């Protein structure tokens, strides 16, 4: 039995030697830091693709059926000399949602930041299962390829909306897309498999591989939020996997699980989808918040306000997220007796998030705030998520939702929750941890210009859409102006589209900044921001195995400006 | 170091071995997947009035025999695990091979059952009941096949030099195999008996 | 750690119980009971059988609390989901829409 006990010690699980060949080091790497960067590469690539689709969608909404600048080269039948036909518009809407949620947000927030930071933050040399980790990133790569391949199938990519509502998605004839829809299901299934493997790794690493002294209540909040997100994903995705199998058989074998004329039930798909779909929102949101939680105390030079209440709020929000899903279905013909309980739980879930928001603001209160680029992004998250969260309370009550459902109000609402948590927090995290990832600093001035352009342009795109939505403008309409009552909204759409173009173009500043940093950036010290968590107590970038000796943790992660201390920060390794 | 260590809080939950924690997290997501499928079936069955007529066409005798095989294979993998813990490598290997054989017999039996149903003209697209029947048993059979592959790998490893490094995986393969057994324990009455 | 790990019940005895319960379920099936009785008896037997496998074969009689949470929470979630779907999927009881022509006072 001693043999077996040895086999399960952390030393056994970190048995991979430092790789020497290029292939082993950068391609088939089992090092969590390299895998994190691979996730980042996949996520950013897919985010660019999703962003260009957003550009196409926005152009069509502002100037329907006119050639989209820069897209004249796309062959028929996808586009006609740059103009978007309705089928392609449907594909764009579907793929924009699918890509942004599953192939950009999750790889960047969970895959990249989670993989890179979680082991270092808990003081571990690597993930618990390094080879499983490699398999998960490669599965995601294959999933991305399958999704991209679906564009080149006869009929194009899936066109049934990112929620894949049946029966539209259950029969190829309904959308005119045959293989595209089937490959869409396969790509999602592979993506789920990838993040299930990743989730197992996150949970076991954060629970079993903590450095001596790293008790649960000393974990950085990012680790807590990544952990909660991993649990939510692993426990919610099952029913959707079952539903996806059923949908796949409906499409390929001709079963009738979701086809009413065959005795199936389309509502069942919606229930199973949203049972996953709502926790999924928090799978994306919580890691984004985790990044903000790490940035705020560092640049406010203050301990985080209410660490324990944030931890318990995170867990409570995660638990509640499993019992709110039917609020996506108030107009789907669900039983009226379900609507009220789900309204109540939905509004209840705003309580833990309100606590988290208050804790963020209270952390800033009386702090010595340093407005660096990461801090600006973190503050941007607070400002914009507030709007997204508050509009969510409107939509949570069934009576209001029945009017606003599927309008641009809903669209603006979820872009106001997901854009801050994915793009703003993701960019903030990138500016914050870039020195740690690459060993080079980014340019602050460029970063600040990038922030302001992104922040202002984002608000210009989506704030007007709330008004359009309350005006009764439904989403997913190919040409809104075929309806007389929507014609007055055209100037608003034109404004939003121009802002969207600015938003996309302003991301080029990041590209310039990153290239400059890699070519000639200032060398980053180990702890450029004066931060306490463990990743800043090792080299930039961290060596193979992360730490030269196993760190011992003596204190909380946010001991800033401790009275009587020599420095205004006390690292977790400080006795 | 030791005095410093005692000043710091201990690591909670660290008692759970890595592999066991990992496999249980995996099983948790599997519970949700099979739960979703079984739940969808149960709900649809109530709304369709019970599907009693369709169920008459299933062969409960073959299925009962299959249950016996699967339950017995659960016993043999427990014996394999016990033998591994005692260090009795030969018995562990033999018991793993018996488990593999029982899994293969289960799959063959399932194939016979499917072919009888196909002969009678029942296909996955025949009706909602048959769709559920083939999807649920098919997904379960895929899991059995996966377990057979895993157990075969371990049985082969038991005759090789690598065994001391991988023998702790018998426990994890066993946990997975028992889970597949438990799924069948619920599928059997849901589909064949009630 | 694993040396003082006591082994619980004899696995052969558990197997005999599983086979006996399987036979009991099959005998109940042969009697062509009413649906309600069949569901009650067969599912009680299935739960007992699953409990035996989980408790003795999967060693759940002796595990850290965390493991009970990992295994138990999904089961509870699943039960919650199925119960909340009962009105929509199983019973289809959409309340009648009030007649449009009945004007309010």
Residue A34 has pLDDT above 80, yes or no: yes
Residue A46 has pLDDT above 90, yes or no: yes
Measure CB to CB from residue C2 to each of A4, A238, A326 and give the nearest one: A4
Which residues partner with A407 through β-bridges? A474
Residue C95 has pLDDT above 50, yes or no: no
Contact A143, A187 (CB under 8 A): yes
Express each pLDDT in B10-48 by its tens digit.
333 456 788 888 999 999 999 999 999 999 999 999 988
Task: Quote the tokens at residue B74.
Answer: 């659960």
What is the structure's pLDDT at C104?
A: 52
What is the structure's pLDDT at B13?
A: 44
CB contacts, 8 Å: B179 with chain C = 58
C-alpha–C-alpha distance, residues A122 and C43, integer Å: 44
Mean pLDDT in residue range A528-535: 94
pLDDT, mean over chain C: 81
CB contacts, 8 Å: A320 with chain C = none
pLDDT bracket for residue B3 (50, 70, 90): very low
Express each pLDDT in B47-101 by its tens digit.
888 888 888 899 999 999 999 999 999 999 999 999 999 999 999 999 999 999 9
What is the structure's pLDDT at A333?
A: 85
Question: Measuring CA to CA, how many Å separate A505 from each of A51, A454, A458, A501?
Answer: 10, 9, 12, 6
Measure CB to CB from residue A1 to each of C3, C89, C95 and give the nearest one: C3
Contact A244, A193 (CB under 8 A): no
C-alpha–C-alpha distance, residues A275 and A230, integer Å: 16
What is the structure's pLDDT at A405?
A: 93
Interface contact flag, C88 A338, Cβ < 8 Å: yes
Interface contact flag, A5 C1, Cβ < 8 Å: yes
CB contacts, 8 Å: B1 with chain A = 552
Distance from CA of A238 to the nearest CA of B (A): 4
For the beta carbon of residue C45, count every other beta carbon within 10 angstroms.
20
Chains that touch A (3 or more CB pairs under 8 A): B, C
Mean pLDDT in residue range B121-143: 95
**Chain C touched by A445 (CB under 8 Å):** no
pLDDT, mean over chain A: 92
Nearest CA among A240, A379, A237, A235 for reference residue A298: A379
- Phi/psi for A427 (5° steps) reads -65, -40
Q: Which candidate in A13, A188, A203, A204 is best for mutational testing of the B interface (most B CBs within 10 A)? A: A204
What is the structure's pLDDT at C2?
A: 41
Task: Quote the tokens at residue A121.
Answer: 């933050």
Interface contact flag, B125 A213, Cβ < 8 Å: no
pLDDT-wise least confident of A256-265, A461-470, B66-75: A256-265
Considering chain C, what percentage of its residues have pLDDT values greater than 70?
A: 80
CB contacts, 8 Å: C70 with chain B = 21, 24-25, 28
Residue A407, helix vs strand vs coil: strand
Express each pLDDT in A96-128 by its tens digit.
999 999 999 999 999 999 999 999 999 999 999
Residue A523, helix vs strand vs coil: strand
Q: ipTM, 2 decimals?
A: 0.91
Which residues partner with A80 through β-bridges? A83
**Chain C touched by A336 (CB under 8 Å):** yes
Distance from CA of B156 to the nearest CA of A (A): 19
Measure CB to CB from residue C77 to each of A1, A235, A338 and give the nearest one: A235
> Residue A365 carries which DSSP code?
T
What is the structure's pLDDT at A122?
A: 94
Contact A410, A469 (CB under 8 A): yes
Phi-psi region of C103 (alpha: psi -120 to 50; beta: other; left: phi over 0): beta
Residue A410 has pLDDT above 50, yes or no: yes
The string over A540-568, giving b where at least 16 C-beta atoms fall within 10 Å of a residue's C-beta and e elsewhere, is bbbeebbbeeebbbbbbbbbbbeeeeeee
Cα A342 vs. chain centroid, distance in angstroms? 25
Question: Measuring CA to CA, how many Å separate A222 from each of A79, A122, A284, A436, B126?
Answer: 43, 11, 13, 16, 50
**Chain A touched by C66 (CB under 8 Å):** yes
> Residue A564 carries which DSSP code?
T
Mean pLDDT in residue range A381-406: 93
Residue C93 has pLDDT above 60, yes or no: no
C-alpha–C-alpha distance, residues A415 and A420, integer Å: 8
Express each pLDDT in C34-85 by its tens digit.
878 888 899 999 999 999 999 999 988 878 888 888 899 999 999 999 999 9
**Chain B touched by A416 (CB under 8 Å):** no
Residue C101 has pLDDT above 60, yes or no: no
Query: What is the DSSP annotation of A146-168?
Result: HHHHGGGSTT-S--STTTT-TTT
Residue A286 has pLDDT above 90, yes or no: yes
Cis omega before residue C12 (within 30°)? no
pLDDT bracket for residue A335 (50, 70, 90): confident
Closest residue, chain A, to B41 (C-alpha): A257
What is the structure's pLDDT at B15?
A: 64
Question: Measuring CA to CA, how many Å separate A199 from each of A7, A294, A433?
Answer: 22, 21, 22
Interface contact flag, A275 C81, Cβ < 8 Å: yes
End-to-end CA distance of chain C: 77
Residue B9 has pLDDT above 50, yes or no: no
Cis omega before residue A558 (within 30°)? no
Instruction: Name the residue with tokens 């619980």.
Output: C8
Size of interface B-C (CB pairs under 8 A): 125
Express each pLDDT in A217-240 by its tens digit.
999 999 999 999 999 999 999 999
**Chain A touched by B26 (CB under 8 Å):** yes
pLDDT bracket for residue A302 (50, 70, 90): very high
- Count helices and strands (H / E) in chain C: 3, 0
Please calculate the CA angle B33-A132-A321 and round it to the nearest 5 degrees: 40
CB contacts, 8 Å: A1 with chain C = 1-3
Residue A80 has pLDDT above 60, yes or no: yes
Please calculate the CA angle C34-C39-C42 and round it to the nearest 5 degrees: 115
**Chain A touched by B165 (CB under 8 Å):** yes
A529 contacts: CB under 8 Å, gap ≥ 6: A298, A299, A372, A374, A432, A536
Task: Quote the tokens at residue A566.
Answer: 């020599």
Residue C99 has pLDDT above 70, yes or no: no
C-alpha–C-alpha distance, residues A452 and B68, integer Å: 68
Burial of A399 (0-12, 13-18, 19+ CB in 10 A): exposed
Nearest CA among A209, A151, A184 for reference residue A547: A209
Task: Quote the tokens at residue B19.
Answer: 């592999």
Interface of B with A in 125-144 (CB under 8 A): 125, 127-128, 131-132, 135, 139
C-alpha–C-alpha distance, residues A165 and A178, integer Å: 16
Distance from CA of A1 to the nearest CA of B (A): 7
What is the structure's pLDDT at B194?
A: 76
Mean pLDDT in residue range A158-169: 93
Residue A2 has pLDDT above 50, yes or no: no
What is the structure's pLDDT at A208?
A: 86
pLDDT bracket for residue A272 (50, 70, 90): very high
């Amino acid at each position: 039995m001693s043999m077996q006990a040895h086999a399960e010690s952390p030393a056994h699980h970190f048995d991979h030697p430092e790789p020497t060949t290029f292939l082993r080091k950068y391609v088939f790497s089992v090092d969590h830091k390299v895998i994190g960067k691979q996730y980042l590469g996949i996520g950013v690539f897919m985010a660019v693709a999703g962003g260009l689709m957003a550009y196409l969608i926005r152009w069509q909404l502002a100037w329907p059926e006119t050639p989209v600048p820069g897209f004249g080269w796309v062959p028929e039948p996808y586009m006609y000399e740059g103009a978007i036909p309705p089928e392609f518009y449907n594909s764009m809407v579907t793929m924009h949602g699918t890509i942004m949620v599953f192939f950009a947000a999750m790889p960047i927030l969970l895959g990249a930041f989670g993989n890179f930071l979680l082991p270092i933050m808990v003081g571990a040399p690597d993930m618990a299962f390094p080879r499983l980790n490699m398999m998960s990133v490669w599965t995601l790569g294959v999933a991305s390829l399958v999704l991209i391949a679906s564009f080149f199938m006869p009929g194009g990519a899936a066109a049934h909306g990112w929620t894949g509502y049946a029966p539209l998605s259950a029969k190829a004839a309904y959308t005119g897309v045959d293989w595209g829809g089937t490959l869409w299901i396969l790509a999602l299934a592979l993506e789920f498999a990838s993040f299930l493997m990743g989730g197992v790794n996150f949970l076991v690493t954060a629970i079993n591989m903590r450095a001596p002294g790293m008790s649960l209540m000393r974990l950085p909040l990012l680790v807590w939020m990544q952990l909660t997100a991993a649990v939510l994903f692993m426990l919610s995705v099952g029913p959707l996997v079952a539903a996806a199998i059923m949908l796949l058989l409906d499409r390929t074998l001709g079963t009738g699980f979701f086809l009413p004329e065959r005795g199936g039930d389309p509502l069942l798909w919606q229930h199973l989808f949203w049972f996953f779909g709502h926790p999924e929102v928090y799978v994306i949101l919580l890691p984004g918040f985790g990044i903000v939680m790490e940035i705020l105390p560092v640049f406010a030079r203050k301990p985080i306000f209410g660490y324990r209440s944030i931890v318990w709020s995170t867990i409570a929000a995660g638990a509640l997220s499993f019992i709110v899903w039917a609020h996506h279905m108030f107009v789907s013909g669900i039983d009226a007796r379900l609507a009220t309980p789900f309204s109540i739980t939905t509004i209840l879930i705003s309580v833990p998030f309100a606590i988290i928001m208050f804790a963020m603001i209270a952390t800033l209160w009386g702090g010595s705030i340093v407005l660096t680029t990461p801090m600006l992004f973190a503050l941007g998250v607070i400002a914009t998520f507030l709007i997204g969260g508050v509009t969510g309370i409107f939509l949570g009550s069934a009576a209001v939702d029945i009017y606003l459902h599927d309008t641009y109000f809903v669209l603006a609402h979820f872009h106001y929750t997901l854009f801050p948590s994915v793009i703003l927090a993701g960019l903030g995290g990138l500016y914050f941890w870039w020195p740690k990832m690459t060993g080079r600093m980014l340019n602050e001035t460029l970063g600040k210009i990038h922030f302001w352009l992104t922040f202002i342009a984002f608000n210009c795109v989506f704030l007007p859409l709330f008004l359009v939505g309350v005006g009764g403008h439904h989403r997913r309409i190919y040409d809104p102006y075929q309806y007389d009552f929507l014609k007055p909204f055209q100037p608003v759409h034109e404004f939003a589209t121009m802002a969207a173009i600015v938003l996309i173009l302003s991301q080029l500043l990041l590209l310039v900044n990153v290239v400059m940093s890699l070519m000639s950036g200032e060398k980053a010290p180990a702890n450029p921001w004066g931060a306490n968590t463990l990743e800043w107590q090792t080299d930039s970038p961290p060596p193979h195995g992360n730490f030269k000796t196993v760190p011992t943790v003596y204190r909380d992660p946010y001991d800033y400006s401790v009275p009587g201390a020599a420095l205004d920060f006390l690292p977790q390794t400080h006795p | 170091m030791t005095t410093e260590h005692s000043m710091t809080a201990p690591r909670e939950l660290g008692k759970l071995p890595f592999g066991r924690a990992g496999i249980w997290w995996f099983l948790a997501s599997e519970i949700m997947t099979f739960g979703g499928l079984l739940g969808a079936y149960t709900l649809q069955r109530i709304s369709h009035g019970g599907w009693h007529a369709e169920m008459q066409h299933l062969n409960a005798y073959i299925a009962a025999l299959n249950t016996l095989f699967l339950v017995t294979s659960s016993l043999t993998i427990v014996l394999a695990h016990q033998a591994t813990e005692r260090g009795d490598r030969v018995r562990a290997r033999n018991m793993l091979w018996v488990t593999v054989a029982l899994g293969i017999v289960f799959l063959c039996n399932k194939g016979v059952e499917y072919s009888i149903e196909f002969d009678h003209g029942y296909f996955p697209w025949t009706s909602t009941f048959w769709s559920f029947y083939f999807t649920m048993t098919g997904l379960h059979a895929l899991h059995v096949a996966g377990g057979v592959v895993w157990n075969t790998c371990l049985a082969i490893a038991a005759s090789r030099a690598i065994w001391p490094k991988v023998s702790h995986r018998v426990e994890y393969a066993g946990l997975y195999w028992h889970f597949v057994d438990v799924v069948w324990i619920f599928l059997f009455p849901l589909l064949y008996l009630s | 750690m694993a040396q003082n790990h006591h082994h619980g019940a004899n696995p052969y005895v558990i197997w005999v119980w599983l086979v006996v319960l399987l036979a009991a379920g099959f005998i109940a099936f042969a009697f062509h009971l009413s649906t309600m009785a069949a569901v009650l008896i067969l599912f009680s037997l299935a739960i007992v059988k699953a409990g035996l496998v989980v408790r003795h074969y999967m060693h759940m009689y002796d595990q850290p609390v965390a493991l009970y949470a990992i295994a138990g929470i999904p089961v509870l979630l699943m039960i919650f989901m199925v119960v909340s779907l009962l009105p929509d999927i199983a019973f289809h009881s959409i309340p009648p829409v009030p007649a449009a022509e009945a004007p309010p006072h």
